Amino acid sequence: MSALSRRAIMSTFMRSFLVQGSWNYHTMLGTGFAFAMLPGLRRIFGADAKAMDASVRRQLDHFNAHPYLVNVALGAVLRLEADGADAQTVRRFKTAVQGPLGGLGDSLVWAAWLPMVSMAGLALWWIGLPVWVVVGLFLVLYNAGHLALRVWGLRSGLRYGRDVARTLREARLAQLGERIKSIASLLVGVIAGLVLAGRSGLSEAGLLWVVVAIVCFVLGLLVGHRIWRPAAIGTVCAIVLIAAWGVVR
C-alpha cells in the first residue's frame, strides 16, 4: 500500500472515467481496467518489467462491473498488487467481485438515482424554470452522487483490499437504492399530474388525448420493458401515417 503515491492514485481515478472506452463483447471492461491500473502498477513494480508484465496481463482478463462502482475493484486490486498478492488471489477476487459490483451499480444508479434526478429535472422544466436552471440543477445533482460514489469506491477499495465486500454490505447500498426509488415514485406522480393539468398539458388538447395517455401509461405499467420497443415503433408509425395523410390530402 505504501508503494502507491497520491499522484498514482489520482491518475488511476482520472483514468477510471475512461474505463468503458474500449468496451467489447470479448473482455468487456478488461482493457479499460488495465488502462486505469497502469499508473498504480508502474509505481508498484517500478523497474521490474517481468512482474509488471505479469500483472498487466492479469488486469487484461475479462472483467465487467458498473462503471462507477468499478472504482471499488480498481482500488482493491491496486491494494492487493501493492501487498504482493499472488496471481490466483487477484484473479479470484476480480471474478468474485464483478457480479455484485455490476448488480449493485445497476440497481442503485441506473434504476434509482438516474430516474429520480431525471424526473426532478423534468418536473422543473414543466413548472417553467429557465433552461439553464433545469440543466444546471440536473447536472449538479446527478454528478454530486456520481462523483461521491466513484471517490468512495476507490477509497474503500484501497483501504480494505480483499475485505471490501464487507464494506459494500455495510454501506447498505441496496437499501439506499430503495429509498431513492421511493422518491422517484413520488416524482413520477408529480410528472403525471403536471402533464395532465400543467401548461401545454394534455387536458388542453381534449379528453380523448387524456384517455389515450392514461391507456398508454397503464400498458407500460402492466407489461413493463417488453412494451417499450413496440410502443416506440407505434408512435413513429402514427406520426408517419399522420404526416402521409397531410401530404396526400
Rule CB under 8 A: which of 178-217 touch another protein? 181-182, 184-202, 204-206, 209, 212-214, 216-217
Report DSSP letters for 14-83, one per residue.
HHGGGTTTT-BTTTBTHHHHHHHHHHHHHHHHTT-HHHHHHHHHHHTS-B---TTTHHHHHHHHHHHHHT
Residue 56 binds to another protein (criterion: CB under 8 A): yes
Q: Which is nearer to another protein, 134 or 164 (CB)?
A: 134
Report DSSP letters for 157-218, one per residue.
HHHHGGGHHHHHHHTTHHHHHHHHHHHHHHHHHHHHHHHHHSTT-HHHH-HHHHHHHHHHHH
**Residues between 60 and 79 that touch another protein (CB under 8 A):** 60-61, 64, 67-68
Residue 121 binds to another protein (criterion: CB under 8 A): yes
Cα R_g (the chain), whole angstroms: 24
Q: Contacts for 104-107 with beta carbons within 8 Å, 24 or more apart?
A: 104/66, 104/69, 104/168, 104/173, 104/174, 105/65, 105/66, 105/67, 105/68, 105/69, 106/66, 107/174, 107/177
Closest approach, Cβ 83 to another protein, in A, equals 21
- Residues 181, 106: Cα–Cα separation, whole Å: 13
Q: Which is nearer to another protein, 85 or 129 (CB)?
A: 129
Q: Which is nearer to another protein, 10 or 166 (CB)?
A: 10
Q: Which is nearer to another protein, 165 or 188 (CB)?
A: 188
Closest approach, Cβ 77 to another protein, in A, equals 15
- Residues 211, 215: Cα–Cα separation, whole Å: 6
**Residues between 215 and 244 that touch another protein (CB under 8 A):** 216-225, 227-228, 231-232, 234-236, 238-240, 242-244
Cell numbers that stand for 220 in this block: 407500460
Q: Which is nearer to another protein, 46 or 234 (CB)?
A: 234
Closest approach, Cβ 131 to another protein, in A, equals 5
Per CB under 8 A, which region of 4-12, 82-90, 110-118, 163-171 contacts another protein?
110-118
For another protein (CB under 8 A), the number of binding residues is: 109
Closest approach, Cβ 1 to another protein, in A, equals 22
Cell numbers that stand for 239 in this block: 406520426
Per CB under 8 A, which region of 81-89, 132-140, 154-162, 166-174 contacts another protein?
132-140
In the set 74, 97, 104, 122, which binds another protein (CB under 8 A)? 122
